[in-house]
Chains A and B, each alone.
Chain A
């Protein structure tokens, strides 16, 4: 993916550029809002990473200008302001996702990849398959190897989100935000327990595990090794 990083802290920007390259992406840098807006307007990027507090033109103004031009490139906002109000303002300005500083790089990467490969709602499949695991979004029926798996509603939504992002790392925070719509710290490993219960249902009686834990990052569902 081609990523544009609009970040005024040189050290952070270079760290992100280097890390994204290590993960197989290309990353351009812009050190202020005006330069970021010019690059985002001219270049064809898959994802924009925009810091909120930028010199010359703040991050939210950059996003608003882009959206006003009709530019729909997914944007991940980075900010030290992490309260609910701040998130709401960021998402209302046209941001697609919001990450509070300080963040773990694995969290940022997972979110960038989720944004980059996100499918438009009209293109959403009614049937998602990962290996022999099939989820039918019309009948809410899940089968593996043709065998019906009975899931609780929340387990179904958890699996649906994981399968929508098959092959990608999905963090615990992403699951909490997208499956439960919670933006608070659950304090304990509640997500891990939910995932392990889901794993018991979809992997336990099968030879090949599909739901993998990515240490220090989160989870991924894929037909193959983690």
Chain B
């Protein structure tokens, strides 16, 4: 067993030495920790991070994450990053609280820690970058649903990711807050597809069956919105039930074309990865401080203003529909 451990250590050392032999000692190492590898949204954020690194110069981006969306997986990844002694960690969290002890440990070692996209509790990070303000996202979802409802409104259902997903739950709360401004929108149910294609599809089918007068499904998750659009198409209700929410143009292009989705929104993940990298760099090199009221520059994206919780919003979500989807579907 000890021999085995030595072998592993030796292998790890040799990998560490061979990955980047030409790496200068004073590069700023910024780790982008995502919810899981292999999700289009985060791949696009990685592109943005690389763009920021090129613009800044002397920055090495480490793009990493677990293979499934679990907090345990992220904790392992972050531990290995602490061992590598990176300068900054920018994480999109699978769990608001579970990552806190590990991230605290990172901050104790002098590593800059920020969260972006999906937040960590305030004690586990220096600041959090929301892609957009939660209120704007929630309102946008309801607005997109309301725009395509028939005269006098109709039944709308929400298909979320898992019941514990930090950002989805906040957005759903925000949706419910703005309902009085949209009297036609009648929310009948909230169901959870756990970000699995098959479960989301089945839940969407259940909604179509349970609520014969359903006019719209709001899915604030990129896996859910695709599955719901497919379920609506298969039920022969494309054009009758409008699937909207948050999705990626590349993944939704076919469903906009089929009429299952009239419009959907997303912030630009490339911009988000870019901004998170810029902020991490500025904090790690002490060009800016993360404190309530501070304004942290984000390169071409302007600057972000922090509130009392050290949270800031990047921009408002952007709506995609038949008129502009073709321009974006090949980008992300």
Are A and B part of the same complex?
no
